[in-house]
Amino acid sequence: MTASDAVQIGAGTNSIASSLQFKDYQLIDAQGKIPNERLSIDAELLSTSVNPVQNKVILSIINEKADTRAINIALDKKRELTDMGVRGIP
């Protein structure tokens, strides 16, 4: 069963509150972050970094950019649905 405040796109159910899922793939977790396995990043980049702090900085930058893209996609979809007459979207 899909959680009441979860978003499910395509076939399947999303039981994780406050998250976004496409089919069986979680795209945004409950904290609004994109899971690392959904990011297309070269794993070698992280493994060759000098230390874990660099890895954390790299992932932080990637998440920030991904968050901005996800928000823009969501706002575009909201506008599209509103234009189609769908109501009740926060």
Q: Which residue has the higher pLDDT, 34 or 71?
A: 34
Confidence label for 2 from pLDDT (cuts 50, 70 and 90) = low
Same-domain check for residues 82 and 44: yes
Residues 53-81 have pLDDT tens digits of: 666 666 676 667 777 777 777 777 777 77
Cα radius of gyration rounded to whole Å, the chain: 16
Say how far apart CA 64 and CA 73 lie, in whole Å: 14
In this prediction the pTM is: 0.44
If one counts the domains in the chain, the total is 2
State the number of CA atoms in the 13 A half-sphere of 83 facing the CB.
Answer: 6
Same-domain check for residues 54 and 79: yes
Same-domain check for residues 78 and 52: yes
Domain coverage including residue 8: 1-31
Same-domain check for residues 11 and 44: no
Instruction: Provide, rounded to the nearest whole percent, the portion of the chain with pLDDT above 90.
Output: 1
Strand ranges inside 23-82, DSSP E:
25-28
> What's the whole-number average pLDDT of the chain?
74
Query: Is-contact 49 58, C-beta < 8 A?
Result: yes
